[in-house]
């Protein structure tokens, strides 16, 4: 455990120096809630400078970023963005104090949890133990009513800003218990189920094959806009590569793809101010 902690300490020194420009002993002590005393913090700073000599250098009582440094992957801008994307904004993880040094605002406009308290815990237990559970679920097909469905959880999946449960539908034996998507906030409740699995079920994993979607950009986009959208949507050779489970949602968000014929869409209509 101490070796792992020391590794975390050295990575903090690296990230702090790369992103803030310097590290002092008090930073290390603060980031790890006093787990490292002053002598240990100083030693970790020296160890970090020795491990990444092309990036860090000691200047008196601080570790600083070298001129024209080589930036390791562990402290790259990609690493920082990944941490922010996953909501990992702790000082010890990113080397910056949020919000004092780096302002980060996360805007949420949907709920992530199922409606009934405790339902998410049932789902997590089913995932951990790989056992069937029952979901009271309502989809968006026309005239659909909530009903209990017996499923075998496979994985949680975050698609954009939406959390989903990927699970095999144990009520659909005719289709060989297919993998389906259940949007978490549309799960009204969940409960434990009979743990016995169907005799001939083939357990599926969370893999999701990729699909290549040929696209063309809107002709009204300026060259700068086209370059920005190609970068944002990772367009290469006039194609977007996306996991098949996410293909419909991506096209619905960024294209004029109509809703499925059997779906209720759009879900809301914004009212004029005088109507609200």
pTM strictly above 0.95 = no
Read off the tokens for 151: 């499923």
User: What confidence score (pLDDT) does residue 268 get?
Assistant: 93
β partners of residue 11? none
Instruction: Assess whether 152 and 182 both reside in one domain.
Output: yes
Is position 177 within any domain? yes
Residue 80, C-beta contacts closer than 8 angstroms, at least 6 positions apart:
15, 19, 94
Is position 15 within any domain? yes
Judge if the upstream peptide bond of residue 64 is cis by omega within 30 degrees of 0. no
pLDDT along the chain (276 residues), means of 10: 89 99 98 94 97 97 97 98 96 98 93 98 97 98 97 95 96 94 98 94 90 97 98 97 92 91 93 72
Instruction: Assess whether 125 and 182 both reside in one domain.
Output: yes
Is position 70 within any domain? yes
Instruction: Assess whether 75 and 128 both reside in one domain.
Output: no
Ramachandran quadrant class, 21 (left: phi over 0; alpha: psi -120 to 50; beta: rest): left
- Of 192, 225, 246, which residue constitutes the final position of a domain? 192
Instruction: Assess whether 53 and 8 both reside in one domain.
Output: yes
Is position 101 within any domain? no
Instruction: Assess whether 84 and 12 both reside in one domain.
Output: yes
Number of domains in the chain: 3
Instruction: Assess whether 7 and 87 both reside in one domain.
Output: yes
Instruction: Assess whether 236 and 175 both reside in one domain.
Output: no
User: What confidence score (pLDDT) does residue 8 get?
Assistant: 97
User: What confidence score (pLDDT) does residue 272 get?
Assistant: 81
Is position 21 within any domain? yes
Instruction: Assess whether 19 and 63 both reside in one domain.
Output: yes
Instruction: Assess whether 6 and 70 both reside in one domain.
Output: yes
Instruction: Assess whether 187 and 233 both reside in one domain.
Output: no
Instruction: Assess whether 79 and 134 both reside in one domain.
Output: no
User: What confidence score (pLDDT) does residue 274 get?
Assistant: 65
Is position 44 within any domain? yes
Judge if the upstream peptide bond of residue 131 is cis by omega within 30 degrees of 0. no
Q: Which domain holds residue 13?
A: 2-94
Read off the tokens for 196: 């016995």
Is position 238 within any domain? yes
Is position 226 within any domain? yes
Instruction: Assess whether 129 and 187 both reside in one domain.
Output: yes
């Amino acid at each position: 455990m101490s070796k792992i902690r020391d590794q975390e300490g050295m990575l903090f020194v690296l990230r702090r120096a790369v992103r803030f420009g310097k590290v002092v002993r008090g930073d290390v002590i603060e980031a790890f809630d006093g787990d490292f005393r002053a002598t240990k913090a100083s030693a970790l700073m020296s160890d970090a400078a020795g491990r990444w000599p092309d990036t860090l250098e000691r200047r008196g009582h601080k570790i600083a970023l070298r001129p024209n440094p080589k930036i390791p992957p562990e402290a790259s801008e990609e690493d920082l963005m990944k941490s922010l994307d996953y909501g990992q904004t702790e000082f010890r993880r990113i080397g910056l104090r949020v919000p004092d040094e780096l302002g980060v605002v996360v805007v949420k406009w949907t709920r992530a949890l199922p409606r009934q308290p405790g339902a998410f815990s049932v789902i997590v237990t089913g995932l951990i133990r790989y056992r069937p559970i029952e979901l009271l679920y309502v989809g968006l097909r026309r005239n659909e009513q909530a009903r209990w469905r017996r499923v075998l959880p496979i994985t949680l999946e975050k698609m954009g800003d939406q959390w989903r449960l990927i699970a095999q539908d144990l009520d659909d034996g005719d289709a060989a218990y297919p993998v389906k998507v259940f949007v978490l906030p549309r799960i009204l409740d969940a409960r434990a189920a009979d743990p016995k699995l169907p005799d001939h079920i083939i357990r599926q994993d969370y893999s999701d094959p990729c699909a290549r979607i040929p696209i063309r950009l809107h002709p009204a986009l300026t060259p700068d806009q086209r370059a920005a959208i190609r970068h944002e949507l990772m367009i290469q050779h006039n194609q977007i590569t996306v996991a098949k489970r996410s293909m419909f949602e991506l096209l619905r968000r960024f294209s004029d793809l109509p809703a499925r014929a059997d779906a209720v869409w759009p879900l809301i209509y914004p009212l004029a101010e005088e109507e609200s």
